[in-house]
Amino acid sequence: MDKALAGIKVLDLTQFEAGTSCTELLGWMGADVIKVESPGNGEQGRWSVSEKPGTDSYYFILLNANKRSITLNLKDERGKAMFLELVKKVDILTENYSLGTLESFGLGYDYLRTINPRLIYLTIKGFGTYGPYAPYKSFDMIAQATGGAMSLTGFPGSEPLKPGPTIGDTGTGVHAAFGILAAYIQRLRTGKGQKVEVSMQDAIVNFVRVPMMGTHITHKPVKRNGNRGAGMGVYGIYKCAPGGDDDYCFIFTSNEEMWQLLCKAMGRPELIKDERFANNKLRWQNVDELSAIINQWTGSHSKHEVMEILGNAGVPCGKILDSVEILEDPHLRQRGMIVEVEHPVRGKFWMPGCPVQLEDSPVDLRVAPLLGQHNAEVYGEMLGLGSEQLARLKEQGVI
> Could you give phi then psi for residue 198, rounded to 5 degrees?
-130, 125
- CA distance linking residue 30 with residue 356, whole number of Å: 12
Other C-beta atoms closer than 10 Å to the C-beta of 2 total 9
DSSP-based three-state secondary structure for 92: strand
Nearest-angstrom CA–CA distance, 232 and 230: 6
Cα separation, 104 vs 197, in Å, equals 19
Q: Strand pairing partners for 387? A: none
Q: Are the beta carbons of 99 and 129 closer than 8 angstroms?
A: yes
Beta bridge partners of 341: 349
37 phi/psi in degrees, rounded to 5: -130, 155
Q: What is the DSSP letter of 97?
A: P
Residues 6+ apart with CB under 8 A from 389: none
DSSP state of 224: P
Buried b / exposed e over 314-349, threshold 16 CB at 10 Å, is ebbbebbbeeeeebeeeebeeeeebbebebeebeee
Using alpha carbons only, how large is the chain's radius of gyration in Å? 25
Q: 180 near 92, Cβ under 8 Å? A: yes
Quote the CA–CA distance of 158 and 149 in Å, as a whole number: 15
d(CA 82, CA 75): 12
Active-site residue flag, 169: yes
- Pick the catalytic residue from 91, 140, 169, 247: 169
| E strand or H helix at 182 | helix 170-190
Residues annotated as catalytic (active site), given as ranges: 169
